[in-house]
Structures are given as C-alpha cells and as structure tokens.
A and B are shown apart, each in its own frame.
Chain A
Amino acid sequence: MYKILICDDDRDIVSALKIYLMSEGYDTVEAYNGQQALKAVGKGGIDLVLMDVMMPVLDGIRATAKLREVENLPIILLTAKSEDTDKVLGLNIGADDYITKPFNPVEVLARVKSQLRRYTTLGGREQPDQAGVVRNGSLVMDDGFKRVTMDGEQVTLTPIEYNILRLLMENPGRVFSTTQIYERVWSDPVSGSESTVPVHIRHLREKIEIDPANPQYIKVVWGLGYKMEKM
C-alpha cells in the first residue's frame, strides 16, 4: 500500500486524482500548497509526490527543491506550462517526471506506477545482470528467454519488433537510419525508401512507452532515424 501525496491548489483536480489513485489501490494524502506538502512529507510515510508547479504560498519548483534537500522519494510535477525550458528546470531541480496539463488520467497512473516501481524495487538494489540481459532504465531485455519487461511487466513483441529493439538497446544513444535498421534486421539491402521500419517502430513504441506520442525510450530523430535514449 503506497501512500501518495497529491498537491495542487485546484481541489477538484486533487479529488479527481485521488479517485483515480484510490481506484488503483493507492493511499493518498492531500495538500493545497507547497508549504502543506512539505509538512505532509515531514510527517513521513509518503512514497511519491504529485505536485503542481503554480501554487500559492510556495510554488512547486521551490517545494521540490526543499524536498530534495532531505528526501529521496519520487516527485512528479504537474503543470499547465509546456515549454521545454520549464520541463528542463523542473527536472534539474530534482523532479523525476513531468506531466503537462490537461493530462490523461491513464498516463498519470502509468507514470506513478513506473516511478514507484523504480523507487521501491529497482532503485536501491541493482541486481547483477546475467549474461544476455540488457537493461536500460525500466526496460529489461533477456535475450536468452527472448523476453522483454517494462517496469517488471512483460511486453509481447513480434520477432521483427524484438530485433529492432535489440539493435537499439545494444547501441543506446546511437542514431540508426531506417535504411540501417532495415539492413540489419531484415538482412536485406533496402530497395527504395519505405515506411516499413517507421511503422514497426511505432508499434514498438505503443507497446513500450507510457505515452507513445512523447516517447521516453525510443526517440525519433526526425530526418535522421531512431535511437534508444540512454536512461
């Protein structure tokens, strides 16, 4: 039973989130500004914080910075601001994730789940990797069993999708063009440009990513190719 602190000055949003989180079996604590959030965390027992950025008394960014001085728990920022600079600022200050309003409740739940899993099961104890196991963040590929897990949940992939993922995971950070991926996965020289590879990658993203439109792992480098983000 995880306890999640929901902090937003809009009480309706807080209660909506509470309903969603409770339906998933989480325990919740509410706060309506940064000061209250700090107090609630100080009482202890909180496993994750969902925090709005623009709040009275103490805003989310400063509250996050203060929390980070003492706590290591995951913090997800919620905000109406969607500028890239805002995201960068939030993440730099110590937030673990960032969800822009208006958000999709499913996405919030997925991100909460992912952060909790990382914090509780993977965060502390790093298991020694067996041979043939490739790990990137929450994404684990066991080549021996031809199995892929995301946040501990198994993902079912087609052989081509699995091969593309393996190519990308074995070379995290490297950009592969569609031609290169095609040549390596299909082992055939490509004849003419097609959208075969992009279609497969889209399917792969839909299976792995929480929000396929804003992928965290398999990123599109427009005009150049695709890459696996090194987590």
Chain B
Amino acid sequence: MKRWEQLPRKALAFCLAVLCFAGAAVMGCYQYANGEAIWSDGGNWADSYAVRSLERRDEAQLQLLAHLWVVRQQGTAQGTSTDGYYQQRVGQIQRQLSAEATNLRWQILWGEKQVLSNSEEDYTQRSLGLYWSAGDEVSLKLEGEHAEIVPCAWTQMGAADHGVVQAGAYNCVAVTDPAGTLQALVDEYRSTGTASLPEGVDMDTVWLDLEGRCTALSVWVDGQAYLFGPSLNTALGLEELCPYLYQPEEDSWTVRERWERMSVVMWLDEEMAVADSYQAARHTLELWRSFRGLFLACNILLVLAGVGCTIYLCAAAGRRRGVEGIHLNPFHRIPGEVVVLLLLTLAALSWVGAVGGLSALENKGVWPNFSLQLILVGLTVGGGAAAVVGGLVTVAVRCKAGTLWSNTIAARLLRLCQRLCRWCLQLAGRCLRSVGLVWKVGVLGGGYVLCTLFAVLVRLPRQLALLLWLGSVLILGYVLVWACQWKRIRQGTREIIGGRPDYHMDTARMLPDLKEHAEALNNLGQSISDAVDERLRSEHFRAELITNVSHDLKTPLTSIINYVDLLKKEEIDNPRAAEYIAVLDRKSQRLKKLTEDLVEASKASTGSLTVVRERLDLGQLLDQALGEYEQRLERAGLSVVRSTPEHPVWVMADGRHLWRVLDNLLSNCAKYALGGTRVYVDLQVHSDCAVLTVKNISRQPLNMEAGRLMERFVRGDASRTEEGSGLGLSIAQSLTELQQGHFQLEIDGDLFKASVTLPITGREQEALPPVESD
C-alpha cells in the first residue's frame, strides 16, 4: 500500500495513456491495412498489405537484378565484359531468390520476353499474390563498331496507316554505315525524285520505292526526323525497331538509343513449402483472422484504458499528496498560448505522420517496410496522444486553479491595458479634483458661453449647432443630478440638526465634490451623536450614584432623627444640653430635606421622572398652592398680592411637578424674602402661553447673576447657614423644562423675580370637562 502511494502515479498514468493510444493506433493500422485479409471471409491472404510489402521488398532486389542484366547486355553489345562485382551480385540475388530459398516465384521480362526467372510457369495462370511491376524504361545504346557488325534490315515502317506501302513490302539491307547509307539515300531522293508525292503524306515524308536502289524509308519532320533503319533483332534477339534520329539543324542522322520496358512479375507458390518471411506473414495473418474478435476487443479496451487514464489525469491534476489546494507545476504556469503552440506543433507533426502513414496504407505498397511503417504510426500517434492528453490535463488544472484565462499572454496584456486605463482615469480624476469647484464651474461655464456666442455670431452649420445643443442637454443633466444630490444633502443636514445626529447619508453615487461634503456631514453627525450618548451616559451614571448614596444615607439618618427625638423627651436639667439637642434636631431635619432634594434634583435634571401632561387650570393650581402656603408666608410676615385673570387658564402640565415648582418658589419666598414686604404673584395670558411670575424682595443682597442661582447647591447667601438645600431653583427649572415650559429668573437689585412660562392649550379644548385624576 505504501509502495503504491509512493509511485509516481500521474507519470505512470500519462505513459500508460500514451502507450494505450499508440498501441491502439498500431493495432488499428495493422487491421486496417490487412482489412480484407482479416475481416473479409472470401479475402485472399496473399493480397494483404503485409504480404504485398514483402513482395515490394523483394521487387527492389529483382529491379536491381534487371538493371544488372541490362548492364551486362550492354557490355556484351559493346564487346566489353562486365566486372566481377556485377557477376557476384547477380549470382547472390539469384541465389537469394531461387525457388529453393523462397516461396516467391518471379520472372523478369524485357518487353514481353522473359529474360530471367526462378520459375518457368506461365504467370498468367497464377493468381496467388500475382504482382506485376512495370519497371523503368531501360535503354540500350547501340553505336559504333557494335552497330557495324550487326546486319541491318529495313523493317516495317510505321506508315502503314498511309496505305501506300503494301504489307510485307520491306526489305533488309545490310549496311556497314547505316547513317551514311541513309544520308546518301536521302540525298539521292532529294536530287532525283522530287515529284509525285502520294496524297496525305507530309512534304518531308520520304518514300522510297522497293524497285529503287534503296529500301523504304520514312521520315517525319516534326522538329525531328525519324528514320526506321535496319533491324537489330537478329543480333539482339529482339523484334523491336531501331530508330535513327535525323537532326535537321545539323542535317545529320544519329542512331537513337534503343529502349524497352523491363517488367518484373511475381507470384507466390501455392504450396508455401519454404519457411521464409512469406510463410511467417501468412501465419500471422491467419492468427489475426482466427482471433479477430479478440483483437478488436483488445483494441477497444486499449482506447478505453487510454481514455480512463486521461480522465484520471484530468481529475487528479493539480492535486498533490499532503498539499492543500491546487498545485501548479512549471508546465501549468507557462502562458496558455505557448502551451497551445507547443501542443499544436506536436499534434500537427504527429498528424502529418499519421496521415502520411495512413495514406501510404491507402496506396498499398508505397512503403517497402510494413513494420517500420507501423512503428512510425505508433510513434506519431503516441506523440499526438501525449499532446492531446497533456493539453487536456493542463486545461483541467488551469480550470481548477482559475488560471485558464488569466494565465495567458492575452489576459496579461489586457490586464496591463486595464491597469493603464485605470491609472489614466485616476490621474485625470485627481487632476480634476485638485482644480477648485469655482474654477471648474467657471472654466466649463465660460467655455460653454463662448461656444454659444461663437455659434450666434458665426451662424454655425446645423450639425455643429446640434452638437452644441446636445452639449447643453448634457450640462442640464449634470446640473439636475447635482441638484438632486444637493437636495439629499440638505435633507440630511436638516435631519442631523433636527435631533437625529446618527442619520447617515448614502454617498455611494454622489459627485466627488458633493460626496466630500456629505461625508463631512456624516462624520459631524456621528461625532455629535457620540458626544450626546456620552453625556447621557454620564448623567445617568451620576443620577444613579446620587440616588444610591441618598438611600444609603437615609438609614443612619433615620436612627439619628429618632434618637434625637427620644433625647428631646428625656428630662435633661442642663440647659446647654437641651440647646445642643435642639441644634442636632434642626440639622438632622435639614439633612433629611437635603437628601430628599438631592434625589429629586438629580432625577429632574436627568429627565428620569415620568411626566404625565394633562390639561389643568393654572389659576386653580396657583390658588391651591397659595392656600397651602398661606400660613407659612403669614408667619414670615409676607403679604401676597395676586393678579390673575378671572377665567381659567388651561395649560398642559403635570400637576404634581408643577406644584413642586410653585412649592419651591413659595418656599423660597418664605425663607429668603425680607419680612414685612409683599410678594407679587401674577398670572398673565399671552397669545400662546401663560406666564406665572413670583416677585419678592430678598432679605440678603443678591450679588450674583440670575443664572448662577439656578445652579445646584447655590444659594443667595454665601454662608449656607440658613435652612434650604440650594437645590430648589434648580429643581424648579428642571421640572418646568420637563413639562416643556420655560423657567426664568431676574434679579434687579434686591428684587427677585421668577417666571414660569407654559404653553396654553387650544381654545377648542377649553370646552372639555376637567380630567379626572388621582
């Protein structure tokens, strides 16, 4: 298992895939080439490509043999003997291809004549592997002495068609100098027999009469003239003509080279007695034929295995043992185009090879070696398969890693272009932004104004004027967008001012200048919101602290008050002790009042009191309050002067809180007003508010601003010896403001004036009955 894991599986799979495809191709080619022999039941095995290619191999030897034969013949004709090499080679080939050494039967023909063979059978009767090879034209040049000793004969003229020369009307003349003889004949003809040319014969066609001293002679003058001269068949054993060539420019005759086609005829001995390559090929073919189904299945299996390996490679591509994610090896990092180019080249090369091989198979017998051909096909198909599989794998990896497109030169160029464009745009944007808004508007607007002026003055052609109009439409659009966004900013500003500091404007698609502004406003709102939150938190914390501390103070205070009270009841003879107890009593009562006021002040100032605003009569409330205070004010030697309207004054307020306000004001009067003076209490009704004013003369000089008096723990007298906590006015102010009223203090010398302003309710509500309340 471990060894399996350590194997380079992908490399093996790749090799296997390539081998499978190559093997399939080789097998396929073999079957295709020998298709008729293997797959057709009536097919002749000798007609198969395997056998043909063997015959082709031997044919090359036979061609050589034929050539050697011609050389020997020429040598014989010229009187020179061929050298030992030729003799040796001929003997060797004849031995190799003797009837005893091979199943091949062959004959070499000179024209129709058999000149060499290993079998005397009539090849026309043989069909098994009969193979006719029309070889090169073999020429034998006859000249010089060799020609002289040959008895010449005039042979049949090719002009028999002309119908003049009778059949058999030829003669053989022995000449020693055929060219000279012919020349003399022509000269003689030209000097004497110029007349009486038969019909249908060319001007330059010469006819020599049998009764004449010359035998028949035919000359075609067609740039060249041909003379059918003396026959050589006696000497050479051939019945062919030996033409003489007339050169009109030189006015001379040359003996033309004799030529003839050499043919090789081959067939196979039916007995196949000799154990040679033919027999082997036959056995192989018979084997294929008997297992043809299996071989086909093998072929299909190979293809499937190759495809399977390819699929595995594609699936496993990019994965690595122990490595997360997609791993790209250097090949997968090469830009796509280069890979495509490489693979295309490889594929094209193998395609050429494969097509070449296949077309060779089509034209049976072009290649002399079938095995070599099969190997070439295997190699080329293997190369092509490697290219295709490699291409698929790299495409798969690139798809997985998402670099199929990005890792190409084109994509890189595109990215570069994009970056360049973005950079340019940013630069432009920065330039535009660095220019001030006023300058921008001025330059653009001025340009537009100048353009229109120009248009008016010059009377622009219609197209240009239309362009100008389009420009104004664009400007209008821009201004509209600007206005809409400006409206949004104004709305947002209003929201922030109107108590929603956490309001956030959407600046996503704003124009740069406005965006800057809007973001600044957003930040402002945020900081306001933060500050308010912070302040509220600290206020609440303080209120809670004060409340808790007060509660903790109350318990010991209870004991103090109670025991002072008990002390008072004791019989104490010492008058000073009684005096001290009285001080303790006073101070403990004051402490009690202080703690209560402290809690109330902190609650009122932080707004943690519940306020239930109801419709109530301010005049009535004033009456009730004065009724409560009648005795105390009287005791302080103060007389109250009131002026209130006779009709009820309806306001929206929380009765208990408003009572506390009046309670504090009147209690202040009782505490701090100069005895024997008058306290003025006025209630005035204005158009939308009622103002309650309490005026009195302070006993102590008030050497401070009115506002200071409303601060907590501040009292008119600096000594703080008097009763009171110094919280009364602060509480009154906070409570008034909780009821949406307005609390104001004025100090004019010793005149102390406090006014409470509350909004009055509408006239339509006056008819309503007083609200029931506990």
The residues of A with any CB-CB pair to B shorter than 8 Å are 10, 12-13, 16-17, 19-20, 80-82, 101-105, 175, 177-179, 192-199, 201-202, 219-227, 229
- Whether the Cβ atoms of A222 and B616 lie closer than 8 Å is yes
Task: State how many angstroms separate the Cβ of B763 from the closest Cβ of chain A.
Answer: 18
Name the interface residues of B381-436: CB closer than 8 Å to any CB of A.
none
Task: State how many angstroms separate the Cβ of A173 from the closest Cβ of chain B.
Answer: 8
Q: Nearest residue in B to A225 (C-beta to C-beta)?
A: B620
Q: Please, which residues of chain B bring their CB within 8 A of the CB of A201?
A: 627
Q: Please, which residues of chain B bring their CB within 8 A of the CB of A177?
A: 617, 620, 770
Known: A198-B623, A224-B616. A102 touches B557 (CB 8 A): yes
Q: Please, which residues of chain B bring their CB within 8 A of the CB of A104?
A: 561
- Whether the Cβ atoms of A193 and B620 lie closer than 8 Å is yes
- Whether the Cβ atoms of A16 and B617 lie closer than 8 Å is no
A101, A202, A223, A229: which contacts B653 (Cβ < 8 A)? Answer: A223
Name the interface residues of B611-657: CB closer than 8 Å to any CB of A.
614, 616-628, 630-631, 644, 646, 651, 653, 655-656
Known: A12-B563, A222-B624. A80 touches B554 (CB 8 A): yes
| Interface assignment of B599: CB less than 8 Å from any CB of chain A | yes
Complex CA distance for A195 and B625, rounded to whole angstroms: 8
| Interface assignment of B211: CB less than 8 Å from any CB of chain A | no
- Whether the Cβ atoms of A13 and B619 lie closer than 8 Å is no
Q: Nearest residue in A to B621 (C-beta to C-beta)?
A: A223
- Whether the Cβ atoms of B624 and A193 lie closer than 8 Å is no
Q: Nearest residue in A to B657 (C-beta to C-beta)?
A: A222
Q: Contacts A101-B554, A177-B620, A225-B620 given; 18 further ones with Cβ under 8 A? A: A16-B566, A20-B566, A80-B552, A102-B560, A103-B561, A175-B770, A177-B770, A193-B619, A196-B627, A199-B630, A202-B627, A222-B616, A222-B655, A222-B658, A222-B659, A223-B624, A224-B616, A227-B774
Q: In this complex, which of B554, B557, B592, B651 has the most chain A Cβ atoms within 10 angstroms of its Cβ? A: B554
Known: A12-B563, A81-B551, A177-B770. A197 touches B558 (CB 8 A): no
Count CB-based A-B contacts (< 8 Å). 119
What are 11 of the A-B contact pairs (CB < 8 Å)? A10-B558, A13-B559, A17-B562, A81-B551, A103-B561, A104-B561, A105-B565, A194-B623, A198-B626, A223-B655, A227-B774
Q: Please, which residues of chain A bring their CB within 8 A of the CB of B551?
A: 80-81
| Interface assignment of B456: CB less than 8 Å from any CB of chain A | no
| Interface assignment of B773: CB less than 8 Å from any CB of chain A | yes
Task: State how many angstroms separate the Cβ of A221 from the closest Cβ of chain B.
Answer: 5
Complex CA distance for A82 and B557, rounded to whole angstroms: 15
- Whether the Cβ atoms of A13 and B772 lie closer than 8 Å is no
Q: Please, which residues of chain A bring their CB within 8 A of the CB of B644?
A: 192-193
Complex CA distance for A10 and B616, rounded to whole angstroms: 44
Complex CA distance for A81 and B596, rounded to whole angstroms: 11
- Whether the Cβ atoms of A105 and B770 lie closer than 8 Å is no
Q: Nearest residue in A to B627 (C-beta to C-beta)?
A: A198
Determine the main DSSP class of B at the interface with A: helix
| Interface assignment of B555: CB less than 8 Å from any CB of chain A | yes
- Whether the Cβ atoms of A223 and B620 lie closer than 8 Å is yes
| Interface assignment of B458: CB less than 8 Å from any CB of chain A | no
| Interface assignment of B572: CB less than 8 Å from any CB of chain A | no
Task: State how many angstroms separate the Cβ of B284 from the closest Cβ of chain A.
Answer: 110
Task: State how many angstroms separate the Cβ of A225 from the closest Cβ of chain B.
Answer: 7
Known: A177-B617, A222-B655, A224-B770. A197 touches B627 (CB 8 A): yes
Task: List the 7 shortest-distance A-B pairs measured between CB atoms, nearest first.
Answer: A198-B627, A223-B616, A222-B655, A223-B621, A16-B562, A80-B554, A195-B627
Complex CA distance for A227 and B655, rounded to whole angstroms: 14
Q: Nearest residue in A to B592 (C-beta to C-beta)?
A: A102
Q: Nearest residue in A to B655 (C-beta to C-beta)?
A: A222
Complex CA distance for A202 and B630, rounded to whole angstroms: 10
Q: Nearest residue in B to A198 (C-beta to C-beta)?
A: B627
Q: Please, which residues of chain B bring their CB within 8 A of the CB of A82?
A: 596, 599
- Whether the Cβ atoms of A80 and B630 lie closer than 8 Å is no
- Whether the Cβ atoms of B557 and A220 lie closer than 8 Å is no
| Interface assignment of B718: CB less than 8 Å from any CB of chain A | no
Q: Please, which residues of chain B bring their CB within 8 A of the CB of A193?
A: 619-620, 622-623, 644, 646
Q: Please, which residues of chain B bring their CB within 8 A of the CB of A229?
A: 774
Q: In this complex, which of B554, B562, B592 has the most chain A Cβ atoms within 10 angstroms of its Cβ? A: B562
Q: Nearest residue in A to B771 (C-beta to C-beta)?
A: A224
Task: State how many angstroms separate the Cβ of B77 from the closest Cβ of chain A.
Answer: 147
Q: Please, which residues of chain B bring their CB within 8 A of the CB of A178?
A: 620, 623-624
Q: Nearest residue in A to B651 (C-beta to C-beta)?
A: A223
- Whether the Cβ atoms of A195 and B630 lie closer than 8 Å is yes
- Whether the Cβ atoms of B773 and A175 lie closer than 8 Å is yes
- Whether the Cβ atoms of B555 and A10 lie closer than 8 Å is yes
Complex CA distance for A196 and B619, rounded to whole angstroms: 14
Task: State how many angstroms separate the Cβ of A71 from the closest Cβ of chain B.
Answer: 26
Task: State how many angstroms separate the Cβ of A3 from the closest Cβ of chain B.
Answer: 21
Q: Please, which residues of chain A bring their CB within 8 A of the CB of B774?
A: 219, 221, 227, 229
- Whether the Cβ atoms of A221 and B773 lie closer than 8 Å is yes
Q: Nearest residue in A to B603 (C-beta to C-beta)?
A: A83
Q: Please, which residues of chain A bring their CB within 8 A of the CB of B559?
A: 10, 12-13, 16
- Whether the Cβ atoms of B555 and A80 lie closer than 8 Å is yes
Complex CA distance for A196 and B616, rounded to whole angstroms: 20
- Whether the Cβ atoms of B554 and A102 lie closer than 8 Å is yes
Name the interface residues of B458-480: CB closer than 8 Å to any CB of A.
none
A10, A19, A81, A198: which contacts B624 (Cβ < 8 A)? Answer: A198
- Whether the Cβ atoms of B620 and A195 lie closer than 8 Å is no
Known: A80-B555, A101-B555, A101-B557. A221 touches B628 (CB 8 A): no
Q: Please, which residues of chain B bring their CB within 8 A of the CB of A221?
A: 655, 773-774
Q: Please, which residues of chain A bring their CB within 8 A of the CB of B554?
A: 80, 101-102
Task: State how many angstroms separate the Cβ of B557 from the closest Cβ of chain A.
Answer: 4
Complex CA distance for A222 and B558, rounded to whole angstroms: 30
Task: State how many angstroms separate the Cβ of B337 from the closest Cβ of chain A.
Answer: 81
Q: Please, which residues of chain B bring their CB within 8 A of the CB of A223?
A: 614, 616-618, 620-621, 624, 651, 653, 655, 658
Q: Please, which residues of chain B bring their CB within 8 A of the CB of A195?
A: 623-624, 626-627, 630
